[in-house]
Structure 1
Amino acid sequence: MYRLSSLILVTAIATASVTAAVNDWENPAVFAEGRLAPRATAFPYATTAQAIKGNPASSPYFMSLNGKWAFKFSPKPADRPADFYKPGYDHSSWDSIPVPSNWEMQGYGTPIYTNVAYPFPKDIPNIPHDDNPVGSYTRTFTLPSSWKGREVFLHFDGSTAGMYVWVNGQKAGYVQSTKNPAEFDITPYLIPGENRISCEVYRWTDGSYLEDQDFWRLSGIDRDVYLYSTAPQRILDFFADAGLDGTYRDGRLNLEVELSNLADTPVPAVIEASIYDKAGKKIKSISRSASLPAHETIPVNMDATIKNVNKWSGETPYLYTLLLTLSDSDGKLIEATSARIGFRKVEIIESKLTINGKPIEVHGVNLHEHNETTGHVVDRETMMKDIATMKRHNINAVRTSHYPQSPLWYDLCDEYGIYLVDEANIEAHGMGAALQGWYDPVNHPAHEPLWQPAIIDRQKLLVERDKNHPSVIIWSMGNECGNGENFIAAYNWIKSRDNSRPVQFEQAGETSNTDIVCPMYPSIDYMNDYARRDNPGRPYIMCEYAHAMGNSTGNFQEYFDIIRSSPHMQGGFIWDWVDQGLLTKDENGDSYWAYGGDFGAYNYTHDENFCINGLVQPDRTPHPGLMEVKKVYQDIRFSPADAANGEFNVENHFLYRDLGDYDFRWQLLKNGEPVASGDIPVSLPAGKSKKVKIKGFPALDTEDGNEYHLSVYTFTRNADDILPAGHEVAREQFVIKSNNVFDIKDNGGTPAQVKEENGNWVFDCTNDTRIIIDKRSGELRSYSIGGRQLIAGTPRPSFWRAPTDNDRGSGEHIRLNAWRCAADNKKVKEVTFSPNNPLPTVTSRYRLPDVNADYTVIYTVMPDGRLAVTASLDCSDDTPELMRFGMQIPAPRSMDTLTWYGRGPWENYSDRNTSSFMGVWKSDVDSLFYPYIFPQETGNHTDVRWATLTGPSGFGIKVSGTQPLNVSALDVTPADIDPGVKKHQMHNSDVRHSRHNVWLNVDLAQRGLGGDNSWGAKPHRQYRLPAGKYTYTFVIEPAK
């Protein structure tokens, strides 16, 4: 008989003990009926030339069934057209739907996003009957005449969540497991001429209890569907274990081939394996003769050594082509197939994960399959965009969270060099997860014996399909699904099937059924503890960390300070890569990205915007935080030696690349402006470091008021398949010298003339500057030069920011809520005027009753019209921490250009600014607002010395600090992008940008962003603003 999965036999036995009335889709023992055993992705070809080329569309034995299918949507199983698969059924009135697609993205049913909670009432293994949509699909096909007398197989790359399949009215089978392939032998059901295939797809099944991933819950046939044909004798499967010898020099191929014969008589045959290099040259060929017994499958093992093999790695993804041919005893070709293979060796040596004997640092991200318009259907263009963007930001690894992804993804990662942690399609988070508090093992799939066959089946589907991909360096058994006897059995099965890769399982913690300690969101204390251990036996690679929800990714450098303190600390996978927003339009026709609770899903359990936590937007536009990731992840690192004399250290952390293949450039900045630059020749082998001295480095000016920075950049010299020539791969900046840069110079002149007018103090200065301060409120009312206003209203104290997702997740928007209106509710204590202190000074003292604090502003009017502003805050013991401390200055909307000397060009914060270099930067105000999908704090810049906000003519306002400032300029206020204590369904399209004002935010400090997680973790202590005493000074003047 043709090989079926051994688990299907288990299923059949288990099913016999279950009442016949139980639906297949509510029975954990039924998950694969009629499905053939999983195998590696491969296609039959008629010639060796076709097989070497490896394009299945060119094979005469391949037929795609992608395209339009007739479709009927039913809200519940009782409403489905139960007999639609029978011959003669009239489908003429049905709609059509593209395959692959998710039916919710085609207008049927409701997209639902949940994180932990199941999107249906939890009653394992039962599924609601009154809300379980069913999609009925059907289409016809006609086989080519060349397929006559051959076997025909139907292949689905994936479907969600349970699917019955009929061909010409006869049942081919039933499958569950949404992100895995299913194949059926449909030869017995075919008829001459036109044939009909029919599929009945259920949105939820008992298998959905194993598919509680943190993503949109979408349904349908959402991966490729095709037919292929073989002779009765065929290459059924193969496992090409392409490793290296003990010296990591020669390639070792251990090849296991399964040959099948469906004929009634034995057949003598020859199986040959040939290896071709990139140039198409055959470099090795081995063959074996075999007698294929009737109706049986036999294994054939072969091995070969490739001298001085070109090794595969993420840096050097060299692929060979493995050609397999099956011929009869006369040498006539029966079938050819192929795979691209890479020779590499994955080991754990002295507690370190190594590739080809070299320890690697994992610069990883988690990746859900997501497209803004097609949902879970991801095309090649999107995949290539992901790989290119990852490579351009120094990302070298992906965890396929939390399921096997489309086969094409693995081909591309093989080709372009992305390391993969390949994860089984298992998450039972809604039933409870290990290491997240106690959960009840009773009825939990991790412990309940009834679920073990399904759990092991999903491991088999993972491993068997992807076993030949060099990019897959680690198997993962699942995510947040508990850890019990079933996962011990699953671990043992994987290790018995493939000993060339380690297995990781976060739920195992530090117990025996994981080869890697791979925690998610560990505490800093735990990281430090593991880092201090001496040869702990297993590497430490975080499966999830640095939760990148909204404006996040703070303290990312701090993670790597710990990681790089110990060789067995080897990085991790950021959560996650892409914001899972779905593109839609509001009632005004404005586009926005939807999240949980949209599309009418407010009637369902949902988790709002918790799916919006990527480093890139749904259209793959990078978030500002990605630049910080790029900087920290870079493999070329710099440290100061004697920067004042043009000396610094370079470290090459690549595995193979010599730095002589890159261009290095330096730039000297004086007060943020370039004054000298040049190229630096650097040749440095992988794994080495050295000191570099810039020839002809200029002498520095020691005059007061000057500061210098040395910036160093590394660029690609030559383009490759992904990176263009001239692409920046690394950067660093050193502070060289700072001489009293924050001193305020006294320009002299005649003191301002002061008069009282209409309840105000009016100051007239020598250069036609006029300043007006309200006597009663002590507030600045006007600042003009030549009659033109520099401000558009009263500057006000600023203590609040629009909460970030991390602020909301940790409850800071509630705990610190007293600051939200503290500035609005301030009470005047006293306002005093000193005409010569030694310059005219107005001191305004306020009480902030909301926060039990005192606030003081001192305005000092200088003779030349400059206005020094000193703000002070004195908090009580019970005052909550601050979001920020500063002032907000309204300006006319015509002032639409911000120029600043500080960190830039992208937004940065106290705990996310290592990638932002000091310099003089310029931006229009529109570009300073980053459109986070859920509106929140944005646009800040740290370490600012001065900033100007100007209009087209250059007229505007300048602020200069007597200490570093935080500055932003936006056409919104925090209130405009803060829905309040209670969170609402707010989107970027809801933000109303002002047509009249720009607000220049001039802060002493702002709270860090945080990023350890988005459900409780605060920014690290050094980046928070505890209650205390704060004071700072800045100077306002007309921009010149």
Structure 2
Amino acid sequence: MKRATTLFFVLTFYFFSFSQQVEFLPGDWENPAVFEKGQNVPHAFHIPYESVDNAIQNMPRKCENYQLLNGQWKFKWVETPQKVPKDFWKPDFDDTQWDEIKVPANWQMEGYGHPKFRNVAMSIENDPPNVPDYYNPTGCYKTKFTVPENWENKEVMLRFEGIKSASYIWVNGQQVGYNQGGFEPAEFNLASFIKKGENDLAVQVIRFSDGSYLENQDMWRLSGIFRDVKLYAQPKTFIHDHYVVTDFDENYKDATLTVETHIRNKLPEAKTGEIVVDVYDIEGRSILKDGSLQEDFEVDSMGNMKVQLSTLIVDPPQWSAEFPTLFTMLVQLKNTNGKVTEAFTQKIGFREVEYKDKILTVNGVPVKLNGVNSHMHHPEHGQAVPLETLKQDLLLMKQHNINCVRTCHYPPTPEYIALADELGMYIFDEVGDEAHNNINLSEKPEWTEMYRDRSRKLVYRDRNHPSVIVWSAGNESGSGQNINEVIKTGKAIDPSRPAWMYGGNTFYIPFEDVVGPRYWVPMDYKNLAQGKVLPANDMRASFMDEYLAATGNGLGGMDEYWEYIWKYPRLTGGAIWDWISPGINTPRWTLPDLSPQKIDGQIMGRPLFQQGVYGWGLEFSGHDDWVEFYRDPSLDITKQLTIDFWVKPSEIPQANVFIAKGKHGYGIQMDDAETLEFYVHGDKRISAKTKVDSGFYENWHHISGLYNGSSLQLFVDNKRVATTSYDGIISSTPFPLCIGREAESQDQGEHSGRMSRMVIDNVRVFNKAVNINNIEDEKEGLVLHLNFEEDEKDGDFYAVGLGGRTYGIIWPDRTVQPEINQIKRSGQPVKFEAIDIENGVLKVTNRHHFKNLNELEGFWQITVDGETSQRGFFVCDIPAGETGEITIDYRRPRIESTTECLLEVSFLLKENLNWAPKGHEIAWEQFAVPTDYYFVDEEEIKQKITASEDENYIRISGNDFKYTIDKKTGSFVSLKYKGTEYLEGGPEFMVWRAPIANDIDPWGSYMVGSSNKTPGRGRSIDNQLRTLGMRDLLPGVEEYELFQVNNNEVILKMDVFSNSSLDPARRKDQWFFSSAFERKEIWTFSADGSIHLEQEIIPHGPMPEMLQKVGLQFQLPKSFNSVQWYGRGPFENYPDRKTGAKVGLYHSTTDSMYVPYIIPQEYGNRSDVRWLKVHNEDGKGLMIEGNEPLNFSLHKYSTDNLSRAMYTYELEEAPNTILNVDYEVSGVGGTAIRQLQKYRVRPDVKKYSITIKPF
């Protein structure tokens, strides 16, 4: 039997805890030098079995040396560490009155404390390393575990896979250890603390610590014991760590397998033994041709040593994302008698990662990475994500050609990495450091060891997983020396992966091995690839760790990035921000509005009902509690205003908002701790302010703010305390009215610290100036009234917190969003090109890295207007990375001249795989094919048509129809066909669509220009349209001409101006030019009822940077709820996100076309539509086709409702069906990178035509 090379040495740098009681100090959690006490050195975890058979079966629940302590624990939540029950950690402490909590779980998801969403900002006052002493929620956990008899004389380890943020551990009343680092494992040796039989475990978890400043990720800020808690026993001489390296030869054929085992001896005498390593394939056959790897060892008393074994493996099957071949490595530790004292298995893969000559390679092959960033998030469980959900995520990714995950911005749960090994997913494994609000921490030496500790724990934990191909040194934590230390530390632990990168916003960081950039436009990315950005001697590959932020209806422009990624070797790919929308499933509690408007308030966060002035009041904790109202038009108050309420405020060192409609609207707040302010905003902010003393707080006060058109007046306890002259109007802002929040500034996760602290009662808002002495009896002008006496539960919704961002390409429940189809398409691993389409000759480029196309099934079909007329299969033998030709043997179609013929080719899975079923489509393309046309004679129209008019209307009539047109607006009043009304309004010319999530996000808003914008009117292009009055255009006919050509045709020529609506935010004495669109229209009515419209659109006056759309909106009867179209589909698509949708013939309904984005917005567009038919269940409807391909959407909600709603529960079905037929639609772009220039609809002179046919 061949012996492997073995290396022995004492690890002088290796430190182990010695199971002695540590000292807990009150300031531990505010001291950057203290981030662990009493912990074992990080290592790769394994379950220690006592037999080879059990180790190979690897069933942890049957392991005699392993316990999972998950389950119901006793739990006590308190507001600060100072309020922790005294001596709760003692075994005899009476916890019978405590609650029980599930472990693992985030306690916020179990109803304790307050979940908070932040991006850059901290959710506490920003003062590193200090954290608040007045509010630092602390969870006290207790449970018991039993030490079996066979654990006597063994080392017993307690391991927490995730516990956040700071935690103290006691066993049997003794101090065991301390930990910081929420997403990294913490392990403690309990050998000197435990006893036979039942043992007591107590854990104190503190929500905020100095470590929180390195956990400032863009996500929900949650805490608790939220990952597995493990207890396991090992012999006194045991394997502490193991490290597997597979190193291929220069031809990437044969591999040297090296296995390092780190042995520790806890006995007072030296110990000898043997390490035995075997490796088995999936069939259980050993791949070690010369038998097991074996080596004797002798380890000193209380000593440590490393045993290294290696051997050559001839031509092993390689691990890659395409072929995730895994082997089972069995490691045995035997004593001098040959008895197995410890055995475990580890899944390994033969895989080598290198970067050289500006290229990142896997097993010597340059790779392209179609990646996503992925948080650990679940709508019910927070960051304690169930295993089945983790697997579902990876399956969805694989099915949509995603082959890479960046684990933003912390180590994922260990099971996730194991699943990536199994299913085949490249992982950029990220260290859990983000100090986005304090990037200078990366330069401070007192924080260095905390940074390094997080690197150590991650790399030791995951370095044996083949799926991990690149380490990431964290995210947005600055670019100081501490980041360099993170990388140096990791490289020392794992030299097998030379590639480290860092997710910073600084592009050029010399100590990373893979450069960005992030959030560059495609052309800049191209310049990088062409050597125009970095020095010529910079050999680093490029990977965009974030490049498109997919928020709501977005992810436009992906093809433009992938054009360059496929073209240039240096460009490895990128990871989209991000995978999962961060909604938390939340009960919807409403407060009835007693005013005639019935604008019920939605309770956000977790405020509490307390004693008020007239009954119940609502208490806001300062921790993201507020009440929000639908953006109802009645709250867009622009003239007179009265706000009235009772409040008992608490003092906070920042603005304390009582009620507000944005910063540029109106509201009453504590501007600071000493100043009460009533404000309105016109061209500028106008305030009535008064000073308050300390006696103002913790007492009830009657507050009123009144604006009567000439002055602002502020009243406290019925006394006027401030007056300010003003005779302008109040700006109408698109931000919601809130109690306890000012939504314009306290938004998008940038708000640091606390929000409102108060108890409030009896809130009233009037759209007139009211005499406050008679306000209790006043009813006129009342638009809002809450008395807090009742609340109602009305279902659930996805809360997005103060952040309000809805990143993600799948919804929280794992339903996919339409954008995911574009990811699949842009990154598809096969390219088709037509060489000789008439003879069916195509060039096929196999962009797989390792897979031959003969492992897939080729399929083709010929479609005529979407209907399949021919189909077949083909075989394609093209190795990975190569190009070949195929010939599709189709018959030349003979079709009508008005139809379209396409050849569609695709590759499908030949067989079921562990991530998708047989027949799953991998890649596809469509080509127009030459045809033989024949012409069909048009039927002679025998009906007659007549035209008439009166003072108000024009009437066009035929045998089967009667159309009525309003002479003032140019819109149809009626469109009757065969006795049925087909139209309830329109067609209305529109350039406004409901703002998409990117429009309401400030990030990237600079990319749509700054002209024609008004502060407070929105954050993006929607601001320009509101400022110019284009949200609601006012049509008016300037002139018209009506004449009858013959008995079969009537022509109506109209010159219509769609004028800007009056902008109330502009002062009456301010001169400005109006905007308008002139529409020169020619309506041709035929005797068969068909209508042909030619339009020339001419813009006048100031114009926005771009138009959201140019088109027509039809109000159809509600029964017209079915649609058939020939164009792109079946799912939603937009001009910059359409190539993932095939051209075909599709059917849908109004309900099915709805896309439930978490924030309601524009949805459901279909691009490149040749024709569409909207109809009722009787088959009656309208057919519309254009002279060029159209866009259309069918909505069940009005555009106004979609524009105003911030939550899906605010949507109310319209009384009719809304059909949008758009000549042009701007793309959706991304959040950071908005619509690329080519996808913007410009306000230019345009000509269009469509034909409308009732049937």
For the aligned residue pairs, the C-alpha RMSD in angstroms reads 2.6
Could you list the runs of 5+ residues in structure 2 that have no partner in the other structure? 1-9, 592-600, 608-623, 627-740, 750-801, 1006-1019, 1062-1074
Is the contact made by 2:1080 and 2:1097 (CA closer than 8 Å) also made in structure 1?
A: yes
Is the contact made by 1:314 and 1:417 (CA closer than 8 Å) also made in structure 2?
A: yes
Is the contact made by 1:706 and 1:738 (CA closer than 8 Å) also made in structure 2?
A: no
1:663 and 1:633 map into 2 onto residues whose CA distance is: 19
Counterpart of 1:704 in structure 2 is 897
Matched, 1:926 2:1120: no
- Structure 1 stretch 75-84 or stretch 910-919: which is displaced more? 75-84
Q: Deviations over 1:678-705 (max 9, x none)?
A: 222222222221121111x222447532
Counterpart of 2:953 in structure 1 is 760
Counterpart of 1:619 in structure 2 is 813
Q: Using the TM superposition, give the Cα deviation of residue 976 of structure 1 relative to its aligned residue in structure 2, in angstroms.
A: 1.1
Letter in 2 for 1:106: E
2:26 and 2:95 map into 1 onto residues whose CA distance is: 29
Taking a change above 3 Å as real, the CA distance of residues 457 and 532 of structure 1, as seen in their structure-2 partners, is same
Is the contact made by 1:868 and 1:1034 (CA closer than 8 Å) also made in structure 2?
A: yes
Matched, 1:581 2:583: yes
Counterpart of 2:1218 in structure 1 is 999
- Structure 1 stretch 275-284 or stretch 529-538: which is displaced more? 529-538
2:1096 and 2:436 map into 1 onto residues whose CA distance is: 49
Counterpart of 2:614 in structure 1 is none
Q: 2:174 aligns with which of 170, 177, 180?
A: 170
In the alignment of these two chains, the number of paired residues is 1006
Alignment of 1:669-680 (within 5 A): 669-680=863-874
The SS at the match of 1:1019 is coil
The SS at the match of 2:227 is coil
Counterpart of 2:983 in structure 1 is 791
Counterpart of 1:195 in structure 2 is 199
2:566 and 2:206 map into 1 onto residues whose CA distance is: 48
Q: 1:546 aligns with which of 535, 548, 556?
A: 548
Matched, 1:1027 2:1031: no
Counterpart of 2:470 in structure 1 is 474
Taking a change above 3 Å as real, the CA distance of residues 137 and 430 of structure 1, as seen in their structure-2 partners, is same
Counterpart of 1:52 in structure 2 is 56
Taking a change above 3 Å as real, the CA distance of residues 840 and 869 of structure 1, as seen in their structure-2 partners, is same
Matched, 1:732 2:925: yes
- Structure 1 stretch 756-765 or stretch 451-460: which is displaced more? 756-765
Q: Using the TM superposition, give the Cα deviation of residue 597 of structure 1 relative to its aligned residue in structure 2, in angstroms.
A: 6.3
- Structure 1 stretch 104-113 or stretch 840-849: which is displaced more? 840-849
Letter in 2 for 1:814: N
Per the normalisation by structure 1, the TM-score is: 0.93
1:453 and 1:825 map into 2 onto residues whose CA distance is: 65
Q: Deviations over 1:364-410 (max 9, x none)?
A: 11110011110001111101111111111011111111111111111
Q: Deviations over 1:595-623 (max 9, x none)?
A: 99655624696624554211111111111
The SS at the match of 2:287 is strand
The SS at the match of 2:192 is helix
Counterpart of 1:959 in structure 2 is 1184
Is the contact made by 1:778 and 1:831 (CA closer than 8 Å) also made in structure 2?
A: no
Could you list the runs of 5+ residues in structure 1 that have no partner in the other structure? 433-443
Is the contact made by 2:968 and 2:1036 (CA closer than 8 Å) also made in structure 1?
A: no
- Structure 1 stretch 531-540 or stretch 84-93: which is displaced more? 531-540
Letter in 1 for 2:405: V
Q: Deviations over 1:237-293 (max 9, x none)?
A: 111112322221112112221111111111111111111121112232111111121
Letter in 1 for 2:1129: G
Counterpart of 1:494 in structure 2 is 490
Counterpart of 1:156 in structure 2 is 160
Is the contact made by 2:522 and 2:560 (CA closer than 8 Å) also made in structure 1?
A: no
Alignment of 1:456-855 (within 5 A): 456-501=452-497, 502-507=499-504, 509-533=507-531, 536-587=538-589, 598-599=605-606, 601-602=624-625, 607=749, 608=802, 610-695=804-889, 697-701=890-894, 704-736=897-929, 748-756=941-949, 759-766=952-959, 768-809=960-1001, 810=1005, 811-818=1020-1027, 821=1030, 823-836=1032-1045, 839-850=1050-1061, 851-855=1075-1079
Letter in 1 for 2:191: T
Alignment of 1:331-370 (within 5 A): 331-370=338-377
The percent of aligned pairs where both chains have the same amino acid is 34
1:64 and 1:595 map into 2 onto residues whose CA distance is: 41
1:771 and 1:743 map into 2 onto residues whose CA distance is: 29
The SS at the match of 2:810 is coil
Counterpart of 1:70 in structure 2 is 74
Letter in 2 for 1:268: T
Q: 1:316 aligns with which of 313, 323, 326?
A: 323
1:812 and 1:657 map into 2 onto residues whose CA distance is: 45
The SS at the match of 2:429 is strand
Taking a change above 3 Å as real, the CA distance of residues 1002 and 83 of structure 1, as seen in their structure-2 partners, is same
Taking a change above 3 Å as real, the CA distance of residues 486 and 155 of structure 1, as seen in their structure-2 partners, is same
Counterpart of 2:449 in structure 1 is 453
- Structure 1 stretch 655-664 or stretch 227-236: which is displaced more? 655-664
2:1223 and 2:58 map into 1 onto residues whose CA distance is: 61
2:1162 and 2:1058 map into 1 onto residues whose CA distance is: 26
Q: Using the TM superposition, give the Cα deviation of residue 300 of structure 1 relative to its aligned residue in structure 2, in angstroms.
A: 1.2
Taking a change above 3 Å as real, the CA distance of residues 272 and 964 of structure 1, as seen in their structure-2 partners, is same
Letter in 1 for 2:1098: D
Counterpart of 1:227 in structure 2 is 231
Is the contact made by 1:371 and 1:377 (CA closer than 8 Å) also made in structure 2?
A: yes
2:1124 and 2:934 map into 1 onto residues whose CA distance is: 18
Counterpart of 2:647 in structure 1 is none
Q: Deviations over 1:903-934 (max 9, x none)?
A: 11111111111111212111011011100001
Matched, 1:988 2:988: no
Alignment of 1:410-449 (within 5 A): 410-432=417-439, 444-449=440-445
Counterpart of 1:249 in structure 2 is 253
Q: Using the TM superposition, give the Cα deviation of residue 751 of structure 1 relative to its aligned residue in structure 2, in angstroms.
A: 4.6
1:544 and 1:742 map into 2 onto residues whose CA distance is: 53
Matched, 1:861 2:1085: yes
Taking a change above 3 Å as real, the CA distance of residues 525 and 661 of structure 1, as seen in their structure-2 partners, is closer
Q: 1:26 aligns with which of 24, 30, 50?
A: 30
The SS at the match of 2:419 is helix
2:125 and 2:80 map into 1 onto residues whose CA distance is: 15
Is the contact made by 1:965 and 1:1002 (CA closer than 8 Å) also made in structure 2?
A: yes
Q: Using the TM superposition, give the Cα deviation of residue 333 of structure 1 relative to its aligned residue in structure 2, in angstroms.
A: 1.4
Counterpart of 2:752 in structure 1 is none
Q: 1:216 aligns with which of 205, 216, 220?
A: 220
Counterpart of 2:1009 in structure 1 is none
Taking a change above 3 Å as real, the CA distance of residues 931 and 74 of structure 1, as seen in their structure-2 partners, is same
Is the contact made by 1:35 and 1:184 (CA closer than 8 Å) also made in structure 2?
A: yes
Q: Using the TM superposition, give the Cα deviation of residue 741 of structure 1 relative to its aligned residue in structure 2, in angstroms.
A: 13
Taking a change above 3 Å as real, the CA distance of residues 259 and 196 of structure 1, as seen in their structure-2 partners, is same
Q: Using the TM superposition, give the Cα deviation of residue 22 of structure 1 relative to its aligned residue in structure 2, in angstroms.
A: 6.1
Is the contact made by 1:531 and 1:565 (CA closer than 8 Å) also made in structure 2?
A: no
Q: Using the TM superposition, give the Cα deviation of residue 774 of structure 1 relative to its aligned residue in structure 2, in angstroms.
A: 2.1
Is the contact made by 2:1051 and 2:1085 (CA closer than 8 Å) also made in structure 1?
A: yes
Counterpart of 1:435 in structure 2 is none
Q: Deviations over 1:580-604 (max 9, x none)?
A: 1111231379xxxx99965562469
Q: Using the TM superposition, give the Cα deviation of residue 822 of structure 1 relative to its aligned residue in structure 2, in angstroms.
A: 5.1
- Structure 1 stretch 752-761 or stretch 893-902: which is displaced more? 752-761
Is the contact made by 1:365 and 1:577 (CA closer than 8 Å) also made in structure 2?
A: yes
2:967 and 2:1207 map into 1 onto residues whose CA distance is: 42
Is the contact made by 1:848 and 1:855 (CA closer than 8 Å) also made in structure 2?
A: no
Alignment of 1:944-955 (within 5 A): 944-955=1169-1180
1:952 and 1:853 map into 2 onto residues whose CA distance is: 37
1:870 and 1:822 map into 2 onto residues whose CA distance is: 24
Letter in 1 for 2:253: R
Is the contact made by 1:832 and 1:844 (CA closer than 8 Å) also made in structure 2?
A: no
2:335 and 2:875 map into 1 onto residues whose CA distance is: 60
2:931 and 2:471 map into 1 onto residues whose CA distance is: 52
